[in-house]
Amino acid sequence: VSFHCVYITKKNMKIKNKVLWCSGSFVLFILGVQHFFPKFRLIRFQQRKCAQYKPLHFDITFSHRKECLKSVHQSQSAEVEVTNLNTIDEIITRGYNASTHTFVSKDGYYSSIYRISGGANSPPRNGKRAILMYHGFLATGASWIIQPGSRNLAFTLVNAGYDVWLANSRGTTPSKKHRHYDADKDLDYWDFGSVELSQLDLPQMIDLILRETGTDKLYYVCHSMGCAVLFTGLADVPELNNKIEANFLLAPPTHMGSSYNPTFLLFPPISGTPLQDLLFRFMGGRINGEPNAFLKALGLTAVKVCGWSSMRCGICDNLIFAMFGADPEQMDYDNFPTIVRMLTGTGALKPFFHGLQVNEACAFQRNDYGTSRNLLEYGSLKPPRYNLTGITVPTYIFYSENDNFVTPWDAERVRNAIPKEFMRGFYKVGWHKFNHIDFLMAKEADILLYHKIRDIIMDLEQYNECYLQGNEFCAGKSQKY
């Protein structure tokens, strides 16, 4: 294989063809070795433990193109100008009080949290109940303010009287500093996984919020990966249960197994093999969604290109549909450049690899390092499963029919893993095309989802206040949710 790659690289071939030839030859070579030497396992093929929810497919449609173009041309400008405001400035321009808070983890990572302490309808004050909102993979705290105006869940909760905090996990653009490493140069910076996010960062984040707000508990709202961080934290740091009033999980991916998202086809089954380390090094430890300087200079960034009406209607939107499922009825085409800008970030590879392992094993288990290291880490050949029986926080789960990351079957597995007395709500979003990313960007997400979450939190607050007063009326009052 080495001689073959050296030979073809001497030819006058494009870099792309060289990579394809070399990588293809390498994979064929490894498969051949595995065929004749069964004990050798560099690529591991394993039958999926869970049944597939429905056949894999790329969901692409052009039926909406005319309506999309009409909508865009009727807006104030067909080519929407994308602002370069950072998240804090953008929140302030929308009429809310915002600030940045930073903490340093024990292993030297700086993480930033955005605080929205109030707005015109709810001025800042001490003692407000805090709500921590944790984003998904390849996203940041900005993903919670994608919607125009006050339609976002973050602003909906601020207007209802709460002190809202937006997490930015280590490795994201707002949280890429380290005491010793340079995230853009040092591979060691990216040597962290879900354990570090949940055991080192999350407890500090929660303590900072409670200290700044002067309260004893907060509400936790999460989308996708942010829910996995919560569950691993509750399992490994039990005292967190005493600091959270209630959990609201949007598409929690902790018990995946029947996922049919095309992302899982792009990465071979290399969990716990030497190839995982090779891929980690080859990709620089991360999936980088940020545009490089060359593309920025040419004006060919995804945000700019998808700002053109001819591209966003039928091409850019179909890239999202192919990845998450087609839902043109809930796509806000006027707001499309903002959607792209706030959903193209950077994510560490190790938590992503962990998600692939969970889907393959159909179990919410710890990281699989391979049999040898598993013995050292866990004392067993296979990674143990996370124990969620100790969760004592009231939990509400929201899922959707067309989510190809977290299917309804997987959502049910999450529900069944939580102690029954603390599993308080299991809701399916009332739109059959609602997909994984619609939890953040759907035009009617406020009507279909956000108002429900707000109402539950407000009802819990009224119940708790009533209970603490000890009135005769309160003694007989029961919770609505």
Q: Tens digits of per-residue pLDDT, 396-455? A: 999 999 999 999 999 999 999 999 999 999 999 999 999 999 999 999 999 999 999 999
Q: How confident is the model at residue 298 (pLDDT cuts 50, 70, 90)?
A: low
**Backbone phi, psi, residue 383, to 5°:** -70, 140
CB atoms near residue 422 (< 10 Å): 15
Is pLDDT above 80 for 48?
no
Is residue 13 over pLDDT 90?
A: no
Q: How many residues does the chain have?
A: 481
What sign for the dihedral angle of Cα 416, 418, 420, 422? Answer: negative
Q: Give the model's pLDDT for residue 291.
A: 62
Taking 50 as the threshold, does the pLDDT of residue 20 lie above it?
no
Q: Would you state the pLDDT for residue 211?
A: 97
Query: How far is it, in rounded angstroms, from Cα 119 to Cα 122?
Result: 5
The kind and range of the H/E element at 97 are: strand 96-104
Nearest by Cα to 21 from 4, 45, 36: 4
- Supply the pLDDT for residue 21: 47
Residue 71 has what pLDDT? 83
The per-residue pLDDT for 156 is 97
pLDDT value for 264: 80
Q: How far is CA 56 from CA 47, 59, 232, in A?
A: 16, 9, 29
pLDDT value of residue 94: 94
If you write DSSP's letter for every residue of 36-96 in order, what string do you get? H-TT--SS-----SSPPSS--------TTHHHHHHHHHHSS-SSPPPP---HHHHHHHTTE
What radius of gyration, in Å, describes the C-alpha atoms of the chain?
23
Question: What integer pLDDT is reported at residue 270 of this predicted model?
Answer: 75
Q: Which one has a higher pLDDT value, 295 or 66?
A: 66
Looking at residue 467, its pLDDT comes to: 64
133 and 168 Cβ atoms separated by less than 8 Å? no
The pLDDT > 90 percentage for the chain reads 64
**Predicted pLDDT of residue 85:** 83
Given a cut of 90, is residue 24 above it in pLDDT?
no
Contact status, residue 445 vs residue 454, Cβ threshold 8 Å: no
pLDDT reported for residue 55? 67
Under the banding of pLDDT at 50, 70 and 90, the label for residue 196 is: very high
Whether the CB-CB separation of 429 and 398 falls below 8 Å is answered with yes
pLDDT tens profile 209-241: 999 999 999 999 999 999 999 999 999 999 999
- pLDDT on residue 49: 76
Q: What is the DSSP string of 266-281?
A: HS-S-TTSHHHHHHHH
User: For residue 141, which of 184, 112, 103, 161 has the smallest C-alpha distance?
Assistant: 112
SS3 label, residue 251: coil
Mean pLDDT of the chain: 86
Tell me the two tokens of residue 436. 């994984």
Structural tokens at position 461: 């607050």
pLDDT of residue 61: 82
Pick from 233, 214, 216, 212: nearest CA to 134: 233
**How many other C-beta atoms can be found within 10 angstroms of the C-beta atom of residue 162?**
25
**pLDDT higher than threshold 70 for residue 167:** yes
Query: What's the rounded mean pLDDT across residues 367-379?
Result: 92
Q: What is the pLDDT of residue 268?
A: 64
- The count of other CB atoms within 10 Å of the CB of residue 480 is 11
Please calculate the CA angle 299-305-307 and round it to the nearest 5 degrees: 115
In Å, how far from its chain's centre is CA 256?
Answer: 14
Asked whether residue 19 carries a pLDDT value surpassing 50, the answer given is no
**CA pair distance 479, 464, nearest whole angstrom:** 9
Please check the confidence at residue 480 and state whether its pLDDT lies above 90: no
Lowest mean pLDDT, pick from 26-40, 148-162, 360-374:
26-40
What's the confidence (pLDDT) of residue 101? 98
Segment 317-334 shows an average pLDDT of 92
Structure confidence at residue 139 (pLDDT): 95
Q: Say how far apart CA 41 and CA 48 lie, in whole Å.
A: 17
- At residue 120's C-alpha, the angle toward residues 119 and 126, to 5°, is 50
Distance from C-alpha of 67 to C-alpha of 320, rounded to nearest angstrom: 18
**DSSP designation for 444:** T
Question: Does residue 254 or residue 310 have the better pLDDT?
Answer: 254
At 168, is the secondary structure helix, strand, or coil?
coil
User: What letter represents residue 400's amino acid?
Assistant: S
What is the per-residue pLDDT for 433? 95
Residue 181: HSE in the Cβ half-sphere, 13 Å Cα cutoff = 19
Residue of 166 and 6 predicted with greater confidence: 166
Q: Whose structure tokens read 């429905």?
A: 54
Residue 74: what pLDDT? 74
pTM of the predicted model as reported, rounded to 2 decimal places: 0.88
Rounded to 5 degrees, φ, ψ at 43 are: -115, 125
Q: Is the pLDDT of residue 54 over 80?
A: no
Instruction: Say whether pLDDT at 478 is over 90.
Output: no
What is the per-residue DSSP string for 421-458? GGEEEEEE-S-TT--TTHHHH-TTHIIIIIHHHHHHHH
β-sheet bridge partners, residue 463? none
Residue-wise pLDDT tens digits, 55-114: 666 678 888 898 899 888 777 554 555 567 899 999 999 999 999 999 999 999 999 999
Do residues 77 and 309 touch, judged by C-beta distance below 8 A?
A: no
Q: Which two tokens stand for residue 200?
A: 């080192």
Question: What pLDDT is attached to residue 31?
Answer: 45
Flag whether pLDDT at 274 surpasses 70: yes
In whole angstroms, what is the distance from residue 222 CA to residue 207 CA?
Answer: 18
> Can you tell me the mean pLDDT for 125-145?
96
pLDDT of residue 66: 87
**Cβ(425)–Cβ(481) below 8 Å:** yes
